[in-house]
Structure 1
Amino acid sequence: MLGVALLGSGRMAHVYGPKIAAHPGLRLERVFNPRIAGAERAADAYGGTPSDDLTATLADPAVDAVVIATPTNTHLEYIEAAARAGKPIYCEKPMDLTMERTERCLAALESHPVPFMLGFNRRFDPDNRALREAVRTGDIGALTFLMSWSREPAPPPIDYVRASGGYFVDATIHDIDLLCWIAGERPRKVYAAGTCLFDPAIGAEGDSDAAMTILEFPSGAMAHINNSRQCAYGFDQRLEAFGRTGMLQTRNHRDDPLIRWDSERTEAGMPLQHFFLERYDASFHHALDEFHAAITEGRAPSATAADGRAALEVALACTEAARTGRAVTLTD
């Protein structure tokens, strides 16, 4: 069993804390936060010893690996420290908000090679994995179009928006990574547009709460991403792959999976699952399974630092395309 140090005690730490504690191959050994009260609350809930001393946390011989679930602007510091300590790393996406600091993350991992996995959890959703496998095995012939609908129930707090890096880096990056992973290609050109239709406070920050993105791949296939910070009927998450011989789709998950027909309704009556915590719960479990296997079996994880760098580069290109109203061409 591997001892894990969970770095952070905010929202994402509360996603990973119970899943680490429940995993048969992992043991929550320490919970770190420079503010000890936060570490104590998370440790009380999920186990482990609270700590506000990063050096002591990483030096603990009972800590075999770290899970970084802290604000994005701290990832570089913790990746560098954990790599120097020789600890395998699972890090929430993105590694950072700028290419310069992301390159520093990669340099740290090159100087101190340790297993590293980036938290692109949607790759580990069973529906998404099944669609990718069907595409890759040729079930629909040559891929022509990929489409992703990703709409959130309500806008996030404005403090979150200010630190997010912008809508394309914060949210669209999930769709970018997922579609590139399915297609097996990196786009050569991106088109993007964003607008603010739901929360004027987001617009006042110079950000968008609705966006559309097109990715153009070297093969000629194209992808369309439809994002919204608000969706009246819940967390709308769908994929479509269209090929020369057929089409594949993933559907939304509902709290009530039954389709009901009676005098008052002719479809499922319940709204969509409320947010990513419910819809993608299983994906986080599967991601930790892969992280555990990467360490214990010595195999490379499927969501790497290079994948994170590539997704951020595309997301920043989308930001630039939306800002200028022009397509942005990506270099190899």
Structure 2
Amino acid sequence: MKQLIQNLRSGETILEEVPVPRPGSGQVLIRTRRSLVSLGTERMLVEFGKAGLMAKARQQPEKVKMVLDKIRAEGLLPTLETVFNKLGQPLPLGYCNAGVVEAVGSDVRGLQVGDRVVSNGPHAEFVSVPQNLVARVPDGVSDEEAAFTVVSAIGLQGIRLLNPTMGETVVVFGLGLIGLITAELLLANGCRVIGLDLDEDKLRLAREKGVITLSPSTADLAAAAVQLTGGVGVDGVIITASAKTDAIVSQAAQMCRKRGRIVLVGVVGLKLNRAEFYEKELSFQVSCSYGPGRYDPEYEEKGTDYPVGFVRWTEQRNFQAILEAMELGRLDVKSLITERVPLAEYRRIYDDIGTSNSIASILEYPEGVSVERSVVVNPTPSKGGAGGAEIGIIGAGNFTKMTLLPALDKTNADLAFIAGAGGVNATALAKKHGIKRSTTDYRELLDDPKLGCVLITTRHHLHAPMIAEVLGAGKHAFVEKPLAIDQEGLEKVMAAYESSPGGLMVGFNRRFSPHTEKIKAMLDPAAPKNMIATMNAGAIPPEVWVHDMQVGGGRLIGEACHFIDLLVFLSGSLVVEVCASSLGQHAEDNTDNASILLRFANGDQGVINYFANGDKSYSKERLEVYSRGGTIIMDNFRKTRAYGVQGFSKLSTRLDKGHRTQFERLVKGVREDNIELIPYSEIINVSRAALAIVESLKTKSWVSVPL
């Protein structure tokens, strides 16, 4: 299928061939008929992409600080690689989609194949969207009218926050697409509406709908608005403009009556003048997109609705309200359509999007597009080697993009497949790294007889079942930690391994770092060791999936397992007992601030400090080893120093956590039909110890780890 994407590094807008997405649980696959180009939002993305590197930095000063902190912690070159990889990520364009339901995933309620629907899906011939972001289209609303639903809901949510009553006077500041729709919805709500804009064509359209219009080129906006209300001032202002100036908020404050309300829907400067707000006791609020539920993973991803008695208007119910207004003739969007363009001719819109005066552009989609879940990206011949030497990847997220594929590029890996849920990221990565095929159906990898090994980099809850499927297909399985997030998943993996000819490998790359291998060589295996590993992990917002115990398993299972393996490797022994304590008065099974004690079968001791409340400019990882009168300190896999150790003083390298060495050996192992770089007993022990950490936090006691 075809999909429009934006390259943020080059600024190029591309109609890319990508595989059709497969709807997951709670998702709906939609065959697109029409989509609306939101010229304001998409213009910003296109212009940002076309800007130079320094211009991009000036537009995102908060990101510049993050980059500087990363340079201090990890060095210049790794940071530059990260930045350029981020900018190379394709960005799907569009969020106003109308089409027909092609398929539904499990647990979908109230929607079926053949329904006409709207969604916030991108500009693509097929889109897969969570059910709470989909609404059924009434018979009296056309596809092109329905394509306005989502952008109209943005204006409607601003109105709901303003809470106007019949007879009030409301100013709409900025008469672009959202502004014009907002003005018309306010009129339908019984308000007197004043519209402000520089563009005479937009002012004319607004007047035709019954809006009183003002232009800053012909009037003092604040004074004119106050005069139109008999000197009282307007009851409220909805700002839908996009501008960097602080003057818009100031003018809005000046034209308001005492205790007036201002709602920001657009993007403007926000340096507020306290006196303007203080003297009138004005209220100011920023509107978040389509309404309650936006950016809430429980609502959007898991399909949990808010009870209507407590949250009357969710984003989905706002969609439904807009569609009803269209059906009843209270909202006319046809007059806003500037052009109708076939998808294949998208450049008619995007090549001059920065200077276009269009209000709304509709993309029209062809009929009869087939559902193809894989595409050939690089039809290159095999790099050679015995049968079963080809490698496939399941997962096209950040780890695959930033770490896995750059490391594999430095090997002779024969990459045949990459599977990703949406298709866009996987296809872009296939194109960049010479992978032959991109697919949205990972089971294609399991059915390919030439494929000897599958690398799994998905969200953590999928690891165990996918490993079991890969091993069940007789192939080698590599999984980027963790192996499993619960005991049931671990047992499933163990059962599959016992009955499969395939090998198992987990991405515990730290043991392959030159720093770790040097430390291991300096240690006497028979001498007792005290080991302290500290991870300055940094805070991650609580809504991110890694904190979800059902999806990510929490950060201790998902990330601290790296250090358990590191200490197992250095000790040369298995963990037999674990005790953990979390920060604060109450022990929690889901924490990212904990100290963990490990006892090893040979008597060694380990401490893992996993902290998320430190400064990111400080080194992220640190290791201390004390043994036989010597002390070894490793700082962030860049510098290692030894004290009291004969024949060694220090080792300095670029940041090297062992990824490159790990994948070089893995690729060699695939060709030799043996990928088990880490003993199976150690992989299982580390996984059991990670699960024991959670149990220890719950019970506040030592927990034994079965050997």
Provide the TM-score with structure 2 as the length reference.
0.40
Aligned length: 300
Mapped contact 1:68–1:90 kept (Cα < 8 A):
yes
> For the residues of structure 2 that align with 1:69 and 1:167, how far apart are their CA atoms?
16
Q: 1:26 aligns with which of 413, 428, 431?
A: 413
Q: 2:590 aligns with which of 203, 207, 216?
A: 207
1:13-162 mapped onto 2 (5 Å cutoff): 13-14=400-401, 15-20=403-408, 22-48=409-435, 49-135=437-523, 137=524, 142-155=527-540, 158-160=543-545, 161-162=547-548
- 1:316 Cα deviation after fit: 1.9
Q: State the match for 2:691 in structure 1.
A: 316
> For the residues of structure 2 that align with 1:38 and 1:146, how far apart are their CA atoms?
40
Q: State the match for 1:234 in structure 2.
A: 618
Q: State the match for 1:222 in structure 2.
A: 605
> For the residues of structure 2 that align with 1:85 and 1:313, how far apart are their CA atoms?
25
- 1:3 Cα deviation after fit: 2.4
Mapped contact 1:99–1:312 kept (Cα < 8 A):
no
> For the residues of structure 2 that align with 1:329 and 1:207, how far apart are their CA atoms?
20
> For the residues of structure 2 that align with 1:62 and 1:279, how far apart are their CA atoms?
35
Q: CA offsets per residue over residues 209-253 of structure 1, 9 Å max, x none?
A: 311111122333211111112431234211121112322221235
- 1:127 Cα deviation after fit: 0.6
Q: For structure 2, list consecutive stretches of 5 or more residues without a partner in the other structure.
A: 1-382, 384-388, 640-653
Q: State the match for 2:677 in structure 1.
A: 302
Change (3 A) 1:51 1:156: same
Q: State the match for 2:704 in structure 1.
A: 329
Moved more, 245-254 or 48-57: 245-254
Change (3 A) 1:116 1:13: same
CA RMSD of aligned residues (A): 2.7
Q: State the match for 2:561 in structure 1.
A: 173
Q: Match of 1:224, as an amino acid? A: V
Change (3 A) 1:65 1:189: closer
Which consecutive aligned stretches of 4+ in structure 1 deviate over 3 angstroms post-superposition?
297-300
Task: Tell me the SS of whatever aligns to 2:494.
Answer: helix
Q: Match of 2:603, as an amino acid? A: G
> For the residues of structure 2 that align with 1:245 and 1:69, how far apart are their CA atoms?
41
> For the residues of structure 2 that align with 1:117 and 1:25, how far apart are their CA atoms?
19
Q: Match of 1:314, as an amino acid? A: A
Q: Match of 2:502, as an amino acid? A: V
Q: 1:194 aligns with which of 582, 585, 605?
A: 582
> For the residues of structure 2 that align with 1:70 and 1:32, how far apart are their CA atoms?
10
> For the residues of structure 1 that align with 2:540 and 2:400, how far apart are their CA atoms?
21
From the CA coordinates, give the structure whose radius of gyration is larger: 2
Is the aligned partner of 1:4 residue 2:391? Answer: yes
Q: Match of 1:90, as an amino acid? A: F
Mapped contact 1:187–1:217 kept (Cα < 8 A):
yes
Q: State the match for 1:291 in structure 2.
A: 666
Change (3 A) 1:55 1:328: closer
Change (3 A) 1:134 1:289: same
- 1:305 Cα deviation after fit: 4.5
Change (3 A) 1:220 1:253: closer
Q: 1:250 aligns with which of 620, 628, 634?
A: 634
Moved more, 177-186 or 32-41: 32-41
> For the residues of structure 1 that align with 2:593 and 2:607, how far apart are their CA atoms?
14
Q: Match of 1:207, as an amino acid? A: N
- 1:329 Cα deviation after fit: 2.8
Change (3 A) 1:126 1:316: same
Task: Tell me the SS of whatever aligns to 1:208.
Answer: coil
> For the residues of structure 1 that align with 2:528 and 2:679, how far apart are their CA atoms?
24
> For the residues of structure 2 that align with 1:25 and 1:87, how far apart are their CA atoms?
19
Task: Tell me the SS of whatever aligns to 1:35.
Answer: coil
Task: Tell me the SS of whatever aligns to 1:154.
Answer: coil
Change (3 A) 1:115 1:206: closer
Mapped contact 1:13–1:70 kept (Cα < 8 A):
no
Task: Tell me the SS of whatever aligns to 1:24.
Answer: coil
> For the residues of structure 2 that align with 1:118 and 1:166, how far apart are their CA atoms?
18
Moved more, 321-330 or 104-113: 321-330
Q: CA offsets per residue over residues 126-184 of structure 1, 9 Å max, x none?
A: 1112112222x45xx71231111111233256322113212321222111111112111
Change (3 A) 1:35 1:304: farther
Q: For structure 1, list consecutive stretches of 5 or more residues without a partner in the other structure.
A: 198-202, 258-277
> For the residues of structure 2 that align with 1:327 and 1:187, how far apart are their CA atoms?
12
Task: Tell me the SS of whatever aligns to 1:220.
Answer: coil
> For the residues of structure 2 that align with 1:253 and 1:287, how far apart are their CA atoms?
15
Please identify which structure carries the higher helix content. Answer: 1
Mapped contact 2:480–2:507 kept (Cα < 8 A):
yes
Mapped contact 2:461–2:553 kept (Cα < 8 A):
no
- 1:109 Cα deviation after fit: 1.9
